[in-house]
A and B are shown apart, each in its own frame.
Chain A
Amino acid sequence: MIHLARTLLHDDAEAQDVVQDVFARLLENEYQMTGNKTEAYLMSAVRNGCLNYIRKMQLRERFKHLYPLDEADDTRPIEEVLADLDRINAIVDDEIEEPQRTIFRL
């Protein structure tokens, strides 16, 4: 959950806040999680929390943090999105030579 939030927000502190909010809401609503959908539910909650956080920001701030500017975000399954990102990282590692790779990572 933290990993997903960090990926979407590029900010450790904000990511932690979003995840904590998810658990806080679960506590408030005394939501009982059952079955094997727990993980999917929690991950969806984190993604929605992150998107809400981004949506509340001003457009200039969103642009500054390289967040998506349009409201319609990626609706694909989270695993798929993360897999895409892994592929991008792999391409960067494979295709981009130093010092460009370091520059990219910065």
Chain B
Amino acid sequence: METNNNIDRLLAMLDHPERYSEQEIMDTVNHDDETREFYRSLTQAARARSSQRSLSQPVDVDKAWEQFEQTHLAVQKHGHLWQRVAAAVLGVLMMSGIAWATVYTVRHFTATDQSKQTTEKVATPSQTEADAVGPRLGVADTSTVENEAPVVFDNTPLEQMLNEIAAYYGMTVEFQNEDVRNLRFHFVWNKGDGLEKVLEDMSHFESVTIEQTDNRLIVQ
């Protein structure tokens, strides 16, 4: 009797399952073995009915494949589309990177060339300057060389010799004895030597006496 009441309750629940909690449904179904078996029979009967109805409704396989293609293969194509988009984006990024690198490299080298040119331009004046200075330095070098390499006066008139030496040391020459102007001498002049040393060497000349007073060399 209680089982029948429970089964009635179960059938009422099937009409309006939303009115009952899940716990109430489970309690009713599992109330006793008979009710549980009754529910299982209901599920089997429902399946049997579905099976019979299914057999009476032949499946249109072509239509089913068409639907499958539309849904799932479209999704796959969509996926491929995304892959293509991603590949395109990556490609664009790569090309942008290459372009940027090219621009950067070109700019870098251009800047380097310009700086080189500037350096060269800067260098040019200095070279010009150096060129301008060069002769002097060359002279200086030459003089240095000359300082090192003694000047040999061979059979040279005393006047010419003294003028050259006096000019070098910033002196003037004054001859008190005019007769010695054209006397020729052999003399080796070391420009590195001081004026005193040179005058001392020249004092060995016979009949010539050279005195130094202020900026003048007086030949007696």
Select A2's contact among B45, B49, B59, beta carbons within 8 Å: B59
The docked-state distance in angstroms from the alpha carbon of A86 to that of B14 is 24
The docked-state distance in angstroms from the alpha carbon of A70 to that of B216 is 137
Contacts known (A6-B53, A89-B48); A23 close to B68, Cβ less than 8 A: yes
Contact with A along B17-45 (1 / 0, CB 8 A): 11010100110010000000001101111
The docked-state distance in angstroms from the alpha carbon of A6 to that of B47 is 8
Q: Does A36 count as interface, using CB distance less than 8 angstroms?
A: no
A88 x B48 contact (CB < 8 A)? yes
A61-95 residues with Cβ-Cβ distance < 8 A to B are 61, 63-69, 82, 84-86, 88-89, 92
Contacts known (A27-B72, A63-B17, A85-B44); A6 close to B51, Cβ less than 8 A: yes
* Closest A residue by C-beta to B45: A88
A58 x B50 contact (CB < 8 A)? no
* Closest A residue by C-beta to B16: A64
Select A58's contact among B22, B29, B75, beta carbons within 8 Å: B22
Q: Does B52 count as interface, using CB distance less than 8 angstroms?
A: yes
Q: Does B207 count as interface, using CB distance less than 8 angstroms?
A: no
Contacts known (A16-B64, A67-B43); A89 close to B25, Cβ less than 8 A: no
Residues of A within 8 A of B (CB): 2-3, 6-10, 12, 15-16, 19-20, 23-24, 27, 58-61, 63-69, 82, 84-86, 88-89, 92, 104-105
